[in-house]
Amino acid sequence: MLTRRTLLGAISAIALLSAGGAASAQENYDIALISKGFQHQFWQAVKAGADQAAADLGVTVTFEGPESETQVDRQMDMLAAALSRGPDAIGFAALDSQAATPLLQQAKDAGIPVIAFDSGVDSDIPLTTATTDNVAAAALAADVMAELIGGEGKVAVVAHDQTSRTGIDRVDGFVNRIKEAYPNIEVVTVQYGGGDQLQSTEITKSILLANPDLKGIFGANEGSAIGVANGKTELGSNVVVIGFDSGAAQKGMITSGVMAGAITQNPVGIGYQTVQAAVSALKGEALPPVIDTGFYYYDASNMNDPEIAAVLYD
């Protein structure tokens, strides 16, 4: 069976939901969450976790994000609008790790605690970041890829962006692991499709046509991975595809064998812990610099295992 790993401190969505009532808010705090997007099932799962935490903790949560994960300016507008209403706390998942710094400074100056989630920022303003260890998760994807292609050959990466921490860390985690541990594997190209399925499909077809001897492609988020699998299918390729995230489309592709497997995060847990951290901050409680929400590798052999099924989403 292929390797599966969770980080120390990782918890399943089920464990989160059962533990959620342990803390209770003293007042109906208003917490504004600004995500990286809204089109992927991943973000719907994050929202579900945030909504559950709001119900458990007796607070009000709003959740919004731009239509596309390329719309940095739109995300900044949403963050500015949230600030203008003066919420008690803000949760922010950055599309660009630097662009939001002036707005986050405004929040800090106004005494509004900021909790980063999923994708952090290059700033010490957020009190904590609820996130996957994306470097380690992508390194696990590299290990699985190396196993599946026999430890040698050419591979490629299709990622979502070069500006968010998730985009940067997943590419670095995969590429650096290959370089460090697998001298007979070459990463021939890293290309970016904005997390858009159609764009990632076209990128994948170009990569495959330019590299007919390619053995594997890593798709670094939900939209990228689905695009890679679609590109493979359209060209009739037998390249090994490792994805990232979950959702009905990827689960179906893994079941059918188009995709070998994927890394799943704990999106419900990310949403839940972001709200929980915001409440803790508002109550003056100390927070760790990072809240590690964990990850797993899953494939057709373990998708129905209770521990894995708890963090997959449709």
DSSP H/E element including 67:
none
Last-in-domain residue among 246, 264, 282: 264
- Report d(CA 36, CA 137) in Å as an integer: 19
Residues 223 and 205 both lie in one domain: yes
Residues 148 and 226 both lie in one domain: yes
Give a yes or no: residue 105 inside a domain. Answer: yes
Give a yes or no: residue 272 inside a domain. Answer: yes
Spell out a b/e string for 44-61, using b for 16 or more CB atoms within 10 Å of the CB, else e: bbbbbbbbbbbebbebeb
Instruction: Name the β-bridge partners of 297.
Output: 263
Residues 248 and 280 both lie in one domain: no
Q: Report yes or no: 90 and 112 within 8 Å, Cβ to Cβ.
A: yes
Give a yes or no: residue 201 inside a domain. Answer: yes
User: Each residue's pLDDT tens digit in the chain (314 positions)?
Assistant: 333 333 323 333 333 433 444 344 457 999 999 999 887 889 999 999 999 999 999 999 999 999 988 899 999 999 999 999 999 999 999 999 999 999 999 999 999 999 999 998 999 999 999 999 999 999 999 999 999 999 999 999 999 999 999 999 999 999 999 999 999 999 999 999 999 999 999 999 999 999 999 999 999 999 999 999 999 999 999 999 999 999 999 999 999 999 999 999 999 999 999 999 999 999 999 999 999 999 999 999 999 999 999 899 87
Residues 109 and 45 both lie in one domain: yes
pLDDT for position 69: 87
Residues 179 and 234 both lie in one domain: yes
Per DSSP, 153 falls in state E
Give a yes or no: residue 51 inside a domain. Answer: yes
Give a yes or no: residue 27 inside a domain. Answer: yes
Instruction: Name the β-bridge partners of 155.
Output: 187, 216
Read off the CATH number of the domain in which 227 is found: 3.40.50.2300
- Cβ-based neighbours of 180, under 8 Å, separated by 6 or more: none
Instruction: Name the β-bridge partners of 89.
Output: 31
Give a yes or no: residue 314 inside a domain. Answer: no
pLDDT for position 314: 79
Instruction: Give the count of beta carbons closer than 10 Å to the beta carbon of residue 101.
Output: 15
pLDDT for position 272: 97
Give a yes or no: residue 31 inside a domain. Answer: yes
Residues 115 and 204 both lie in one domain: no
Residues 31 and 121 both lie in one domain: yes
Range of the domain at 229: 134-264
Give a yes or no: residue 239 inside a domain. Answer: yes
Residues 115 and 160 both lie in one domain: no
pTM of the full structure: 0.84
Residues 168 and 272 both lie in one domain: no
Q: How many domains does the chain have?
A: 2
The token pair at 111 is 């005494």
pLDDT for position 191: 98
pLDDT for position 221: 96
Residues 118 and 64 both lie in one domain: yes
Q: Report yes or no: 254 and 261 within 8 Å, Cβ to Cβ.
A: yes
Residues 117 and 191 both lie in one domain: no
Residues 152 and 70 both lie in one domain: no
